[in-house]
Chains A and B, each alone.
Chain A
Amino acid sequence: MDPREIIARRAARELQDGFYVNLGIGIPTMVANYVPEGMEVILQSENGMLGVGPYPVAGTEDADLVNAGKETVTEIPGTAYFSSADSFAMIRGGHVNLSILGALQVDRQGNLANWMVPGKMLKGMGGAMDLVASARRVIVAMEHATKSGAPKILDACTLPLTGSKVVDTIITELAVMRVTVEGLVLEELGPDATVEQVQRLTGTALIVAESVRRMF
C-alpha cells in the first residue's frame, strides 16, 4: 500500500459517527475517502462551510464553492455556509471534534511546527494556529520521516511552532503514537514496520506500549 494511503486509512479509523471534522491540505484531505460505510461525518472547511462534499463533476465547478485549499468542491444535503468569523468561533469554541493536519515537525511534548521554514518562501499560518489551539482533538497525519530519512518526530521542534502542546496523536505509515506527559507512546505499527525501524527514524526515545498492535 502507498504510504499516504496507509496514513489516510488509519486516520479514518479515528472518526466517529456524528463527528464534525476539519481536514488539512494533503494527506489529511485523503482521509475523507476512507470514512467507514454507514458513518456520518461532517467536514468543516474554515473558509465558511459545514458539510463539504466531493469534488464536482467536470463542467459543474462553481467559483463560489471552494474548500480551504481553494479547490472546487460540492455541497451535500444539509450543508451550511457562514462567515470566517463564525467559522473560527465554532473552532475556537471547541465545537469541532477533530482536526487532522500535516506537520513539518512534531515533538515529544506535542508541540507542532507546520507553517514556516526560516529562509524559505513566506506563506503564512492560515487557520492552523486557531485549529490546533482549539479543536477538541488534534491528530497529525504525515509521513514518518523526510524523503532523505531525517526524523520529523523530535525531542523538541526546531522550526517556529504552530502550537504549543497541542497534538494528541501522531499517525504515520509506520506507527501510531500517543502524546503523553512521559513522552511518545508507540501503540501501533504499520504494515511490515518494526519497533527498531520506527525508533531509528524517530528523533526522540519512544515508549513502547506493552501490547503494540498492527494497524490493520
Chain B
Amino acid sequence: MNKIYPSAEAAVADIGDGATIMIGGFGLCGIPEDLIAATVARGVKNLHTISNNMGVDHVGMGLMLEAGMIASHIGSYVGENKLLEEMVLGGRLDLTLVPQGTLAERIRAGGAGIPAFFTPAGAGTIVAEGKEIREFKGRSYVMEEELTADFSLVKAWRGDRMGNLVYRKTARNFNPVMATAGRCTIAEVEEIVEPGELDPDSIATPGIYVHRVVRWTGYEKRIERRTVRGGGQ
C-alpha cells in the first residue's frame, strides 16, 4: 500500500467541473495551501466548496474565489472577504451560512453514516427556517442533514504512506472530520514518515479515511492576526 503522490498537481488531477470539495482549516490555520494552489491551477469551474471560512484576500481559498471557480459555498464565517460579499450580493455565488458546530457535526455525520441529527443550535432563528423542528425533553431542536464531498483536501503535520495522519496544535480543527467525509480524501503533510514511526496511540486520522498523501512544498504558514504579549499586533 502506497498512497503517496509525487505532487499536489498529480493528487488533484481528477478534480473536475462541478465537484463538491471540503477544505480543512480555521481561518488560515491548518489549510492545505499546496492543494488549493494546484486546484486553482487546474482552472476547473462551478465547484461547490465546504469550509469553515473562505480564506482572506489573495490567500488560501481567497485564491479560488478570485479565480471564479466557486459556484456555491457552505461555511460558518466569511467576514474577512470583501470579494465574497460582492459575489453573493451580485448573485454569482450561492452562500449558505451554518452554525460552526452544526457544520462540524454535519461533516462528522457524513463520514459516520448518519444521514441527519437534531441540534439545539439555531432553534428559534432564521437558521431553523424550513427545517424540521422537534421537541426533546421540553426543548426545540433543529434537524440538520449530513455533508459529504467528492474530494476532501486536508492538511496534517505528519503522515505515512498508509495515510495515517497526525496534526499539530490548533491546525487540527476541521481537518480530521473532513478527512472522514470525502469520497476521495487528499492529505497534504509537512513530513512523510515510515509506517510505524507515528505513535499508534496518537494517530488522529487512521489511514482508512485517506486516499492520497502529498508532501507540502515548505511554504511559510501565514498568521492571520499576530498578537503578542504586552499588546499590539
Hey, which bits of chain A sit against chain B, CB under 8 A?
Answer: 45-49, 54-58, 61-73, 75, 81-85, 87-89, 91-92, 111, 121-130, 133-134, 160-165
B189 at the interface (CB under 8 A from A): no
- Interface of A, secondary structure class, is loop
A52 vs chain B, min Cβ distance (A)? 9
Assess the A72–B78 pair: CB atoms within 8 A.
Answer: no
Asked if B122 is an interface residue, CB under 8 A from chain A, the answer is yes
CA of A160 to CA of B12, assembled, Å = 40
Chain A residues with CB under 8 Å of B226's CB are: 61, 71-72
Contact A49 B228 (CB under 8 A): no
Nearest A-chain residue to B106, judged by Cβ: A85
Partner of B170, one of A48, A129, A134: A48
Q: For chain B, which range describes its interface: under 10, 10 to 19, 20 to 34, or 35 or more residues? A: 35 or more
Bound-state CA distance A134–B120 (Å) is 7
Other contacts beyond A66-B224, A125-B100, A133-B123: 12, CB < 8 A: A46-B101, A55-B228, A64-B169, A66-B223, A70-B27, A70-B224, A72-B227, A85-B104, A85-B108, A92-B120, A123-B77, A134-B120
Measured CB to CB, the nearest residue on chain B to A68 is B26
Given A48-B172, A125-B100; A164-B227 close (CB under 8 Å): no
Number of A-B contacts (CB under 8 A): 179
Contact A82 B105 (CB under 8 A): no
Question: Is there contact, CB below 8 Å, between A66 and B29?
Answer: yes
Q: Which A residues are CB-close (under 8 A) to B230? A: 58
Beyond A83-B175, A88-B101, whether A164 also contacts B224 by CB under 8 A is no
Q: Bound state CA distance, A122 and B90, in angstroms?
A: 13
Other-chain contact of B121, A62, A68, A71, A133 (Cβ < 8 Å):
A133
Cβ-closest chain B residue relative to A126: B77
Cβ of A124: which chain B residues have Cβ within 8 Å of it?
Answer: 75-79, 97
Per-residue interface assignment for chain B, residues 163 to 199, with 1 indicating a CB less than 8 Å from any chain A CB and 0 otherwise: 0000111111111110000000000000000000000
Distance in angstroms from A1 CB to nearest chain B CB is 18
Closest to A79 in B: B169
